[in-house]
Structure 1
Amino acid sequence: MVPVAQAEDPPTAAEMDWRPRAELPVEAARNLPSFCQGGYLQPASVVGAASESGQPGDLPLSASGLSARYEMDSELYLRGDVRIQQGPFAVTGDEARYDQASGRVSIQGPLTSRGDGFLLTGERADYSADTGYLDIRMATFLLHGPEMRGSAAQLARTSDNRVQIGQGQLTTCAPGQNDWSIVASEIELDQAEGVGTAKHVRLQIKDIPVFYWPYASFPIDDRRKSGFLYPAFGSSNAGNGGFLAVPYYFNLAPDYDATLTPQFISGRGLFTEVEGRYLSDFGQSDLQLGYAGNDREYADEVPGEDGERWGLDFTTEARFNRNWTGYGDYSAVSDNDYLSDLNRSLSISQDTHLLRRGGVRYRDDHQMLEAYLSGYQTISDFIADADRPYSQLPNVLYSGETDLGPLTLGLDSQYTFFYRDNDDLTGLDQANGQRLRAIPEIALPLRALWGYVRPSVGVDYTRYELDDYGLGDPRIDRTVPVAEWDSGLYFDRKSSLFDVPYNQTLEPRLYYAWADADADQSMIPDFDTALRPFSFSELFRPNRFSGGDRVGDTNQLTVALTSRFNDLLTGRERARFSLGQVQYFDDREVTLDGEGAADSSDSPLAGEMVLRPVEGLEMRTSGLWEPRTSKTQEGRSQLVFHSEDYRYLASVGHTYRRNEFEQSDIGGVVPVSDRVSLIGRWAFDSELDRTVGSLAGLEYNNCCWSVQLVHQNYLTDEEELQSRVLFQIELKGLGGSGGSSRQISEAIIGFDERERRRFGER
């Protein structure tokens, strides 16, 4: 007896258009992440194909098959390679019956219906030529844009862009790879609106249900849609246990939206965050709020506190016209520990001072005017009252220049009213008041292809009118004449290295500065001034102090040399070497808090080096070397590498300051397979002889989901090393939970670009 051959199951919609990596067009394969084994490819004849438009009942219906039987004014029966088309709708199958009276077409499969961006298959279907309604039994479907595929006991295509699914399952994983899927009793996909909805939804990992929603709404493209976002869960920032957050997105209007995120944190209770965004004709504004009505752990830890905690961050930008812009940034928290204990979404870093600033700015080709109000909230218990920054109420800056024949007249000016609550302070620390500073300058800039020279003279004038100042006359005037001479030459030659043509420059530079400042400025308060750290860029500044409360006395000459190597094929700077030193002709006597004075006749040698030998590799080093002692005073070196696709990341750094600190750090991301990568960073302080930070974990990627799991040690303000576990799960098409990426991006250079490319740059 000859066995009867069993018919193979017809391919699903996804299997029909799936192509392994080797069969994809070159450009599509190049853009495919390494952890993806293939992608979907529509037939070229379908993409962007034009067709008739209009209501289905107004469009002609065409039908063809290998054989046909026609009953006049009754029924058309087709068999073998059947094709039915009406406007943009087309379906193929084995058999079809067309009832002329009802306009109904019954199609026996296996059948397929294809359009630009979608493919449907099934066992049998009913189609209405009058309404365009298509009902398919035992169907599979594929949406090419979001790479979403699935199956259904019943699938109805109610219009060109709308699909209704009964007892369906969908996923963005490759065919035959149901790592995760959404199973629902009813699913509706609206391509016109870019959204899907589902009832009685189960999230399955493999075939195991892990979560249930009675109703869900989710995007199927990049457009915004109101609805619940993917829940977030993990360990709380305080390490006290877990948290669960269920965000809801409100797409209120094209120009504004909001996200509400209630969450429960173990040991702390209910905590809610909300973010609102508004886009006007002038610019964008963002408001973020966080609120906990009764943080039980905080109330237990801090006597006298009731557990009510909040955080706020507001930013706005506005461009009124080509020259005028406005901006605002306001941050505030209820207590010093809010950011470390609770914050998950406020876009403010855990600094010691939170900035509040708002103002306007005017800028054109010759001048700049800016006026703003600024203040701070200090959120560290370790900063003394005398070290807290002053508010500037207001700060007005103006700078401009104009040409007078070969001469240039310039003016830099600033008016500031400084205020701080100094009731508990004495002496200079108690003062508030106004400061007006103006620096007019006249210069003779001369330039040529081979070099430049710019001599200039100016006056640095400052006037104070002080309050709560008990050390003499509260009106203080300071006038400092300043002279500068800046000059340089350009030499270049063309050559080649490893068959790559390049241009090498040699750029000697002489810079002279003289400022006749009064050595004793100790009666002037310190509102915003600090001694600048010495580096190569400081070789060309006349004032060694930042801010406006000290003007350094100087009589100095800088001699410096820079050489660059520019790739003539790409125009990229492949290498730069810079070295310089200051020769002092007089002692420096002006000080700030006892610092800034010196009697040496020369400075340390200051140098910088940047190497970019190949794309993705950069080495930077800078430092100070003291010739007299033949010892390095300070240095910073860093090597950063990334592959073209950012799968490989590596950074090595070393920072040193003689007799103060020395730290080394190493970090990177290294793939151990196409799908698994190791993540790590380690920072060590040689002076403390201890680890001051570490991060270690792994990342798994495939084409439909990814997970990051890392363990982090970090140093607190109390110099204690604490630990936490961070993770992030990403289901392609549904979003993610957790929040490891932000902390990893802060630790490893290039990781944020890697995240952007993982699923976004396909």
Structure 2
Amino acid sequence: MSSHAPALTSQPLPHRLRPLAASLALVWAATTPWTAHAQGQTGHSLWHSALPAPQLKPSAQLQEAVDPTLRGQLPSYIRAEQISGQADINAVLEGGAELRRADTVIRADRVEYTLADDTVHAQGNVHINRAGNVYQGTALKMQVDAFQGDFNNATYQFLATQGHGDADRVQFLDRDHSVVYRATYTTCLRDDSASWTPDWMIRADRIELDHVEDVGVAYGGALEFKGVPILPVPAISFPLSDKRKSGLLPPTIGIDSKSGVEYSQPYYWNIAPNRDATITPMLMSKRGVSLGTQFRYLEPGYNGALDLQYMPDDKLRDRARWAYGFKHQGSLNAPLGDLGLKLNLNRVSDDNYWRDFSSLSGSRSSYQQRLIGSDAALSWTTGRHELSLSAQRWQVLQDVDAPIAPPFNRMPQLRWNYNTNDWAAQGWDVTLMAETTRFEADTWDQRNNPDNGQRSYSLTSLSRPFLLPGGFITPKVQLHAANYQFDDFSASRPNNKSLAIPTFSLDSGLVFERDTLALSRNYVQTLEPRVFYTYTPYRDQSMLPLYDTALADFNFGSIYSENSYTGRDRIADNHMVTLGLTTRYLNPTDGAEVARFGVAQRLRFADQRVGLGYDTLGQKGWSDILIGAGVNWNSRWSTDALVQYNRDTQRTARSAISGRYTPGPYKTLSAAYRYQRENSLQVANQGSEQIDFGWQWPLSGGRKDTFGAAPSGGRWYSVGRLNYSMYDKKLVDAIVGFEYDSCCWIGRVVVERMQNSRSDSNTRLLFQLEFVGFSRLSLGADPLRSLQENVPGYRPLRDRSGPVPSRFSNYD
């Protein structure tokens, strides 16, 4: 690119012709840096040493797009073995003729150029390069600046997609629009063999090309694959770049064990730069026809998406099936404060929807769950105050074999926060929060639940971190206050209950570090002992319902917390101290964590009395021991492990070990082992034990493994994930597929088996064929969506995120 810069820096002389070779020679001599020292010329080397080293600088004239207001003023350069004509009237170039202006180059055996109408007549081996797009043919007539004319017996190739084809005639309408007649189009790369034919191509009577919208439209033709017409195309559009465009996405063909043969054909509608829609009709041989639609919008102050699924008549369920999901988020800056609105609305038609339609193309992940939530929130923020009004409602999809207790709905919740960031400047951390919530639950046999009521809650927290060289200590006090008003009451529980619970905690730790050597490498090793003490007095909370409270997971995050539960309805009476020790190995160059090892354990000074009614309360003495480790062995290997060990039973209560190997693009292997004893103090064989293995790996063929690049000669890939339950001695979930990446098309076949319940599963066989540069991928389309959601580390083939190719990358 820089080697051609001198020719583009000449002063513009409108319609003045210059011999190109002479101009380039003069500019090259003026801009070439001294190399006399390398040639042994001492006099020049003194000058060379006295001058600073030459630096490449961006040129304002090396622009990706030529300014249309200056295009008519740019000079023309000509070169040929023989030049004749009249000055400022015409020129005849013969033998290696070339005419160059701005981003356009024309070469031919013979070129006649007329200055008056800016017209070129070229014959014999005609070659045009216009901003990286190349055309070749036998005869050309064109107005250069207007880029209008005709090209006979031409071939063409576009820079952005490498799409190319042949045509009996190319008609240039202007610089951005053209029409090719009796033409072909493909993105398959041509080889040197005389018998080469593309794997796929469009053969059409007429193709209209629009380089403003980067869209081509073919009329009166057919789509051929391996020489066989597979789809008539009376009129079909295709992209000329990676810009969004309306059109058909790759179809999906599948075989489902319950729904039968499935065929879906997504259509993408590029409504505007900030709005689009995907419409997906789907045919299921055993069920009927369904229609899915996703509409997205993005505005300066708000954005959102609407998903709709509708089947008018499901033959297997003998009823209409539907689902909708709507997400919206917006904000408004007002004089009295900032307003915000969030909506997340979801609903399905019946209890079996998650089982029957969780695999619909483009469907929301919430449709795959049995607990579907909808919520809305309106917030107002001004100064230090934040006020929000929200509501949340659940839809429970019940299963007779595995019923779910319906959670409580928040109808509504009013919450206030007071921002105390200015206190942080004084070294204090302060939290002031208050909320009041109306809780209602839908039971299986009645509308009203005896626990329905109003809960008002407030939290005041004050802490003062002291940061010391090599350590810290943070005392903290909290006050939890709550009031409950119940709709129904009895002799055992009044309709009003209030309580206030204080909590004190003291968090402290030290950080030591040293330079060390491990596995023949230098590291910075840290040693971080930590002591966390907390005390909360006992308050009887057994008469309170569980609106939003559950047992917190026992891990390295929760073991250093004051409360053993999540939510507001239970404040555990903890009197205990947590002792922990962590060591890390850091890269001395960039501080990246290479390895981490940790151990932690609690010591209770008194038995825990507050509980949920179904959990095991903490006993006085030492808790289970947590042991964790994570190692990034190198850029390819990484492992993580977590073990919870019970000293009383001398058995492992829970363990999780995982590892991943990623040696290069589209190459990843992952394995995980998970074990959990349901109750470590009871029967030893209760709980779960699973092995999980996932992979994406090239099999054979091809030599190039670069994200976004086509493999040389085509390549097969295997991809999948297997989840096996050792407790049940069966395969729980499985997805196994094969992908083939040719130079210009990608094929996928995937077998998917998903467990819906202990006794019910669903199996699907999915097919997909994508023509690169013709039909573009949709992230919500099967089987690609299944691979992305289920295979750890999966990367879609041709996943490229680089810039659009520059015209200088194909510069003549």
TM value normalised by structure 1: 0.85
Number of the residue aligned with 1:209: 229
Q: CA deviation at 1:380?
A: 3.2
The residue matched to 1:155 in structure 2 has which SS? strand
The residue matched to 1:643 in structure 2 has which SS? strand
Over 3 Å counting, the alpha-carbon distance change for 1:410 and 1:48 in structure 2 is: closer
Matched residues in 1 for 2:287 and 2:471: separation? 66
CA contact (8 A) 1:728 1:736 kept: no
**Of residues 390, 415, 421 in structure 1, which corresponds to 2:442?**
421
Alignment of 1:276-287 (within 5 A): 276-287=295-306
Q: CA deviation at 1:628?
A: 2.6
Over 3 Å counting, the alpha-carbon distance change for 1:183 and 1:423 in structure 2 is: closer
Number of the residue aligned with 1:387: 405
Matched residues in 2 for 1:218 and 1:435: separation? 58
CA contact (8 A) 2:744 2:771 kept: yes
CA contact (8 A) 1:57 1:131 kept: no
CA contact (8 A) 2:598 2:627 kept: yes
The residue matched to 2:581 in structure 1 has which SS? strand
Number of the residue aligned with 1:22: none
Over 3 Å counting, the alpha-carbon distance change for 1:61 and 1:207 in structure 2 is: same
Number of matched pairs: 706
Does residue 1:693 correspond to 2:729, yes or no? no
CA contact (8 A) 1:654 1:663 kept: yes
CA contact (8 A) 2:291 2:309 kept: yes
Matched residues in 2 for 1:57 and 1:678: separation? 55
CA contact (8 A) 1:232 1:736 kept: no
Number of the residue aligned with 2:208: 188
Matched residues in 1 for 2:797 and 2:623: separation? 45
List runs of 5+ in structure 1 lacking aligned partners.
Answer: 1-43, 300-306
Number of the residue aligned with 1:355: 373
Alignment of 1:5-84 (within 5 A): 48=63, 53=68, 65-67=80-82, 77-84=92-99
**Of residues 150, 165, 175 in structure 2, which corresponds to 1:135?**
150
Does residue 1:595 correspond to 2:620, yes or no? no
Q: Which amino acid aligns with 2:600?
A: G
Over 3 Å counting, the alpha-carbon distance change for 1:105 and 1:446 in structure 2 is: closer
The residue matched to 2:317 in structure 1 has which SS? helix
Number of the residue aligned with 1:93: 108
Number of the residue aligned with 1:147: 162
CA deviation string 1:317-362 (max 9, x = no partner):
2244597643221111112333443432222331111121121456
Over 3 Å counting, the alpha-carbon distance change for 1:295 and 1:365 in structure 2 is: same
Q: CA deviation at 1:500?
A: 4.2
Alignment of 1:135-284 (within 5 A): 135-176=150-191, 178-226=198-246, 228-235=247-254, 237=256, 239-284=258-303
The residue matched to 1:298 in structure 2 has which SS? coil
Matched residues in 2 for 1:150 and 1:239: separation? 44
* Cα RMSD (Å): 3.2
Number of the residue aligned with 1:637: 657
The residue matched to 2:513 in structure 1 has which SS? strand
Matched residues in 2 for 1:689 and 1:129: separation? 75
CA contact (8 A) 1:511 1:559 kept: yes
The residue matched to 1:744 in structure 2 has which SS? helix
Matched residues in 1 for 2:523 and 2:511: separation? 16
**Of residues 593, 608, 611 in structure 1, which corresponds to 2:631?**
611
Number of the residue aligned with 1:669: 696
Q: CA deviation at 1:744?
A: 1.7
Over 3 Å counting, the alpha-carbon distance change for 1:474 and 1:56 in structure 2 is: closer
CA deviation string 1:582-601 (max 9, x = no partner):
11111112221332424341
CA deviation string 1:561-615 (max 9, x = no partner):
1111111223211111111111111111222133242434110101221111212
Over 3 Å counting, the alpha-carbon distance change for 1:169 and 1:757 in structure 2 is: closer
Over 3 Å counting, the alpha-carbon distance change for 1:315 and 1:238 in structure 2 is: farther
Q: CA deviation at 1:245?
A: 3.2
Does residue 1:735 correspond to 2:776, yes or no? yes
Does residue 1:122 correspond to 2:137, yes or no? yes
The residue matched to 1:178 in structure 2 has which SS? coil
Does residue 1:510 correspond to 2:531, yes or no? yes
Q: CA deviation at 1:294?
A: 1.8
CA contact (8 A) 1:490 1:506 kept: yes
Matched residues in 2 for 1:612 and 1:679: separation? 24
**Of residues 481, 503, 506 in structure 2, which corresponds to 1:485?**
506
Q: CA deviation at 1:222?
A: 2.9
**Of residues 118, 122, 125 in structure 2, which corresponds to 1:110?**
125
Matched residues in 2 for 1:513 and 1:256: separation? 52
Does residue 1:654 correspond to 2:673, yes or no? yes
CA contact (8 A) 1:578 1:609 kept: yes
Deviates more, 1:287-296 or 1:398-407: 398-407
Q: Which amino acid aligns with 1:250?
A: W
Q: CA deviation at 1:631?
A: 1.0
Matched residues in 2 for 1:130 and 1:546: separation? 71
Matched residues in 2 for 1:456 and 1:281: separation? 42
CA contact (8 A) 1:56 1:132 kept: no
Matched residues in 2 for 1:48 and 1:58: separation? 16
Matched residues in 2 for 1:523 and 1:447: separation? 42
CA contact (8 A) 1:500 1:567 kept: no
CA deviation string 1:620-661 (max 9, x = no partner):
11121012332111111111222342x211111111112211
Deviates more, 1:721-730 or 1:507-516: 721-730
Q: Which amino acid aligns with 2:622?
A: D
Matched residues in 2 for 1:433 and 1:392: separation? 10
CA contact (8 A) 2:252 2:782 kept: no
Does residue 1:576 correspond to 2:609, yes or no? no
Q: CA deviation at 1:295?
A: 2.2
Over 3 Å counting, the alpha-carbon distance change for 1:370 and 1:579 in structure 2 is: farther
Number of the residue aligned with 2:315: 296
Matched residues in 2 for 1:594 and 1:408: separation? 35
Number of the residue aligned with 1:329: 344
CA contact (8 A) 1:260 1:273 kept: yes
**Of residues 743, 752, 758 in structure 1, which corresponds to 2:799?**
758
CA deviation string 1:687-739 (max 9, x = no partner):
11111122222221133222221212221125323321123333211224861
Deviates more, 1:690-699 or 1:318-327: 318-327
Q: CA deviation at 1:135?
A: 1.2
CA contact (8 A) 2:725 2:732 kept: yes
Q: CA deviation at 1:554?
A: 1.7
CA deviation string 1:478-507 (max 9, x = no partner):
222211111111111123445643211111
Matched residues in 1 for 2:391 and 2:637: separation? 42
**Of residues 346, 349, 356 in structure 1, which corresponds to 2:363?**
346
**Of residues 732, 737, 744 in structure 1, which corresponds to 2:787?**
744
TM value normalised by structure 2: 0.80
Q: CA deviation at 1:199?
A: 0.6
CA contact (8 A) 1:317 1:326 kept: yes
Number of the residue aligned with 2:29: none
Matched residues in 2 for 1:543 and 1:397: separation? 21
CA deviation string 1:224-245 (max 9, x = no partner):
333x313513115564333333
Number of the residue aligned with 1:433: 453
**Of residues 552, 566, 570 in structure 2, which corresponds to 1:532?**
552
Deviates more, 1:464-473 or 1:626-635: 464-473
Deviates more, 1:405-414 or 1:498-507: 405-414
CA contact (8 A) 1:423 1:430 kept: no
Q: Which amino acid aligns with 1:436?
A: S
Over 3 Å counting, the alpha-carbon distance change for 1:344 and 1:380 in structure 2 is: farther
Over 3 Å counting, the alpha-carbon distance change for 1:330 and 1:599 in structure 2 is: same
Q: CA deviation at 1:550?
A: 1.5
CA contact (8 A) 2:754 2:763 kept: yes
Number of the residue aligned with 1:308: 320
CA contact (8 A) 1:651 1:748 kept: no
Q: Which amino acid aligns with 1:192?
A: V
Deviates more, 1:364-373 or 1:354-363: 364-373
The residue matched to 1:294 in structure 2 has which SS? strand
Matched residues in 1 for 2:445 and 2:304: separation? 38
